[in-house]
Amino acid sequence: MLPIFNFSAGPAVLPYAVLEQIKRDVPSWQNSGMSVMEVSHRGKDFMAAAAQAEADVRDLLQISDDYSVLFLQGGATLQFAMVPLNLAGQSDVADYVLTGSWSKKAIADARPLCSVNVAADGTDGHFTAIPERSQWSMSDSAAYVHVTTNETIAGVEYQEIPDVGSKPLVADMSSTILSRPLDVSRFGVIYAGAQKNIGPAGITLVIVRKDLIGMHRKSAPRILTYEAFATSDSMTNTPPTFAWYVAGLVFSHLKSLGGLEAVAKINKRKAEKLYAAIDVSDFYSNPVDENCRSRMNVPFVLSDPALDGRFLAESDAAGLKNLKGHRSVGGMRASIYNAMPEEGVDALISFMQEFEKQNG
């Protein structure tokens, strides 16, 4: 079989070393005679693995003791509801910056739960740019300001998150978390579904400033409060233990690579060479403003869309998997998260050049 490079937007490729460890650990984890799926979350072995995962992600992201680190279920989508329930009252205003499909979903799910002010809206530009901070129209009374640091469909990413003053800044970082160093102290809440840069779908990392815990509205179901998880080591009910264990393996793997500075350097190089290959050609194009191109999701179109089918069939046959663009934008999309090796990007670029030669 050819080597495979999996460009899926998520659930996405995992580090090969992590997959090997998962395989070794079935059916017996830590010489217990049991897999990690079969042990109590409250047993000392799992508790130790869970604590190590938290310590490692705190280390990677330099998270201070002012923050709780939670491991929840429900994906980023559950956070679309938990954020307003925990940080705003029913009639409170919350500012949202609309930069693409994911912030749009966050807004739609928040609307019934608080008073959403869309502080900036990239719709007219088809989400190929992030509205300048100077154009954001924020509410004085906003309970928080919500941003989506990367939009996986349009392929736009904040290179710097603008200053929003003293309001708690809330960020959906599902597709950028751990892809570069981060100043956590600028944020009130950071949340991220696992299935891009953390681990398997089914676990959500939530980093919440401790002074924001316990402010949930009284009508919120207990299981939707940050407090319930912050006061129980994320074990107010049985956590998704396998996904947590894999997340721990990924954190440890990232540390072994040299941490997020090292990871960011590779990610930057991967993205730059792929955008360069697109830009140098008239055969491929990417419509996103250069100052907010995503390092994680690189959409591109062929000058002749009639060739899309052939491109996809031939790239698939060459071991370059899941390059089909999202139906809302068409064309191709290469998701190149942390676990995409640089060789995968190189192989894609070679394929693109060869395909252009044959069909250009």
Among the residue ranges 56-64, 76-84, 255-263, 287-295, the one whose residues contact a copy of itself (CB under 8 A): 76-84
Instruction: Count other Cβ atoms within 10 Å, centred on residue 289.
Output: 11
Binding footprint of a copy of itself, residue count (CB under 8 A): 68
Provide the b/e sequence for 119-147 (b: ≥16 CB within 10 Å). bbbbeebebbbbbeeeebebbeebbbbbb
4 binds a copy of itself (CB under 8 A): yes
Smallest distance, a copy of itself to C-beta of residue 132, A:
31
The contacts of residue 203 (CB under 8 Å, 6+ apart) are 71, 72, 73, 194, 239, 240, 243, 244, 247
Instruction: Count other Cβ atoms within 10 Å, centred on residue 83.
Output: 29
CA-CA distance, 13 to 300, in Å (whole number)?
A: 20
Contact between 107 and 116 (Cβ < 8 Å): yes
Report the SS3 class of residue 254. Answer: helix
Nearer to a copy of itself among residue 81 and residue 169 (C-beta): 81
317 binds a copy of itself (CB under 8 A): no
Nearer to a copy of itself among residue 55 and residue 201 (C-beta): 201
Instruction: Find the binding residues for a copy of itself in span 263-292 (CB under 8 A).
Output: none
DSSP for 113-124? TSEEEEEEE-GG
239 binds a copy of itself (CB under 8 A): yes
155 binds a copy of itself (CB under 8 A): no
16 binds a copy of itself (CB under 8 A): yes
CA-CA distance, 4 to 150, in Å (whole number)?
A: 26
Name which position in 148, 175, 179, 195 contacts a copy of itself (CB under 8 A). Answer: 195
Instruction: Count other Cβ atoms within 10 Å, centred on residue 1.
Output: 4
Nearer to a copy of itself among residue 218 and residue 357 (C-beta): 218
The half-sphere exposure of 309 on its side-chain side, counting CA atoms within 13 A, is 1
Enzyme catalytic residues: 102, 172, 196
Q: What share of the chain is helix, strand, coil (3-state, %, to 5)?
A: 40, 15, 45
Among the residue ranges 14-22, 140-148, 182-190, 264-272, the one whose residues contact a copy of itself (CB under 8 A): 14-22
CA-CA distance, 178 to 289, in Å (whole number)?
A: 23
222 binds a copy of itself (CB under 8 A): yes
Name which position in 55, 59, 73, 285 contacts a copy of itself (CB under 8 A). Answer: 73
Binding mask 103-142 for a copy of itself (x = CB under 8 A): ------x--xx-----------------------------
CA distances for 103 relative to 31, 65, 78, 171, angstroms: 44, 29, 13, 10
224 binds a copy of itself (CB under 8 A): yes
27 binds a copy of itself (CB under 8 A): yes
Smallest distance, a copy of itself to C-beta of residue 120, A:
24
Query: Exposed, middle or buried, 219 (CB in 10 Å: 0-12/13-18/19+)?
Result: exposed
Among the residue ranges 151-159, 160-168, 194-202, 297-305, the one whose residues contact a copy of itself (CB under 8 A): 194-202
CA-CA distance, 121 to 140, in Å (whole number)?
A: 18
225 binds a copy of itself (CB under 8 A): no
Smallest distance, a copy of itself to C-beta of residue 256, A:
18
Return residues touching a copy of itself (CB under 8 A). 1-4, 6, 8-14, 16, 19-20, 22-23, 26-28, 31-35, 37-41, 43, 73-78, 80-81, 85, 109, 112-113, 193, 195, 199-203, 218-219, 221-224, 236-243, 246, 319, 321-322
